Amino acid sequence: MNRISANDVKTKGVSALENETLITVRGEDKFVVLDMEYYNYLRGCELEKAIADSLKDLESGKYYKEPVEAHIRRIANEI
């Protein structure tokens, strides 16, 4: 993976970026630049994982069936 500083991005502009570029700020890794195709692939993976987790929760009975008011009271107490 290509690594550049935020200052390089500032001075050289977008031409300094390549696919999968790590941008550092004061020597600390802060940002990653990806091409849109790979970014969308990763988003799809996250959505598939969320759906799989939700289906697992439904199958195991790990969910609540309650009116909105009860839901709001319950989550307010969990915060």
Contact 57/63 with Cβ under 8 angstroms? yes
Residue 56 C-alpha from the chain's centroid: 21
Q: pLDDT for 9-48, tens place per residue?
A: 999 998 899 889 999 999 999 999 999 999 999 999 999 9
Residue with tokens 């550049």: 4
Domain boundaries, the chain: 2-33, 37-78
Which pLDDT does position 28 carry in this prediction? 96
